[in-house]
Amino acid sequence: MAKNKRNIDLKVKQDELENTASRLFLSLGYEGTSMNRIARELGVAPNTLYWYYASKDELLVGVLNRQMSDTLARLPTIAEKPLKEKMAWALREFEQSRELVATVHARLEQSDVIREWHDQFHRFVETAVIHTLRADGVARERAATLATVGTFLVEGLLSHPHSPRQREAILQWFADSALPSQPPS
Amino acid sequence: MAKNKRNIDLKVKQDELENTASRLFLSLGYEGTSMNRIARELGVAPNTLYWYYASKDELLVGVLNRQMSDTLARLPTIAEKPLKEKMAWALREFEQSRELVATVHARLEQSDVIREWHDQFHRFVETAVIHTLRADGVARERAATLATVGTFLVEGLLSHPHSPRQREAILQWFADSALPSQPPS
DNA sequence: TTTGCTCTTGAATGACATACAAGAAACGTG
DNA sequence: CACGTTTCTTGTATGTCATTCAAGAGCAAA
């Protein structure tokens, strides 16, 4: 009863799988989405997924990478904006994935694949943020510290409910403390 | 085959359950610890646990409350220390529970009991930190923002591996930015 | 002794991630 | 075109998990 073969190639099929998985992960959460459910949605047998991904965690990594590259594509949009707006943008960017962020952190200790992805992700973000800060004239050591702090603030805001006023206050305070000589945005 | 009755009362038994659960949660993680395993360790049938707790999440809440009250008992120790040391203390205090912190965040959306505990926890911490800051002469609005930021930094440090130098740098930077007029500790 | 409460249990249930081996379709080579 | 190999898909099974249910055992009060 196997159907399509070489006419659709691997990448295209993975795209399809990851799109569906992504949609379900975002709406039902990672734990709330069973492999069975994803397969049903796709009209395939549950174990078919295991031909493409060794585990549910690997599928999650695929979904995360897809979202990362989407976000990266939108990055140039805010390249020239001030720090505060960059952080607000990142926050908006990851807001839909809020639940997945928590899932990644929770699975760090249980899944090597997830931990590797997470570490790589942080190295990447940290490097990028440090570059930005240094371009604004921040010293190397200080830039590294600020990059970590900025990341923690974004993650904190992502995982805790808060009002727009709180968000605004936190970002403003951070921007002021990080770049005291910067003109207001 | 039922054994002990009125001679040991509810609280004592719950103490025993939570002690064992706590030890296992901390060493194997929440997901890594099955109800079966906890029961085996206690020498009881798995479903016995459900007489004391409606669900695994409620057992986790019991464990969290226990740890919280332990921590609260140690709180006076650092009441008079400067901000930076208070944060370092909190960090040390929660370090063993690192994995549980991540678990709580991941289960927020799936478990009402956990969400309620989490919200209450944050309200409590926030209130306490704001009080401390206000005693140091920080204005109300600013104190609220700083309390949230401080919390996010502690949570960030808890859930991400880092060197002692990084920790020191982050805490120092935060303390300096939060209380610019404070004498060095 | 009977009734009822508190606690414990054995045995199930249904969901889940995943493993295994067999089969169908397409391909590459003769 | 024939045929073995590779790529994909499936039915079926496994073991683990949280949780449920109904039946008790021990104890206390009536």
A160 touches strand C (CB under 7 A): no
Is the pLDDT assigned to residue B134 strictly greater than 50?
A: yes
How far apart, in whole angstroms, are the C-alpha atoms of residue B1 and residue A57?
43
How far apart, in whole angstroms, are the C-alpha atoms of residue A113 and residue A62?
11
B14 touches strand D (CB under 7 A): no
Is the pLDDT assigned to residue B7 strictly greater than 80?
A: no
Is residue B82 within 8 Å of residue B139, measured between CB atoms? no
**A9: helix, coil or strand?**
coil
Is the pLDDT assigned to residue B165 strictly greater than 90?
A: yes
Is residue A42 within 8 Å of residue A20, measured between CB atoms? yes
Is residue B185 within 8 Å of residue A164, measured between CB atoms? no
Which residues fall within 8 angstroms of residue B7, CB to CB, at 6 or more apart? none
B17-73 pLDDT, tens digit each = 999 999 999 999 999 999 999 999 999 999 999 999 999 999 999 999 999 999 999
Nucleotides of D under 7 A from a protein CB: 7-13, 16-22, 24-28
**A181: helix, coil or strand?**
coil
Is residue A169 within 8 angstroms of chain B, CB to CB? Answer: yes
How far apart, in whole angstroms, are the C-alpha atoms of residue B85 and residue B156?
17
Q: Which residues of chain A are under the pLDDT cut of 70?
A: 1-8, 181-185
- Chain A residues with CB inside 8 Å of B174's CB? 149
How far apart, in whole angstroms, are the C-alpha atoms of residue B76 and residue A97?
39
A173:B142 CB<8 A: yes
- Chain A residues with CB inside 8 Å of B87's CB? none
- The sign of the torsion formed by the CA atoms of B152, B157, B160, B166 equals positive
Nearest-Cα residue of chain B relative to residue A172:
B145
- Chain B residues with CB inside 8 Å of A153's CB? 149, 152-153, 156
Residue B179: alpha-carbon gap to chain centroid: 26
Q: Tell the CATH topology of A56-178.
A: Tetracycline Repressor; domain 2 (1.10.357)
B14 touches strand C (CB under 7 A): no
Is residue B176 within 8 Å of residue A149, measured between CB atoms? no
pLDDT at A10: 76
Is residue B34 within 8 angstroms of chain A, CB to CB? Answer: no
Round and report the angstrom distance from CA (B52) to C1' (C3).
25
Given pLDDT bands bounded at 50, 70 and 90, which one contains residue B8? low
How far apart, in whole angstroms, are the C-alpha atoms of residue A46 and residue A36?
5
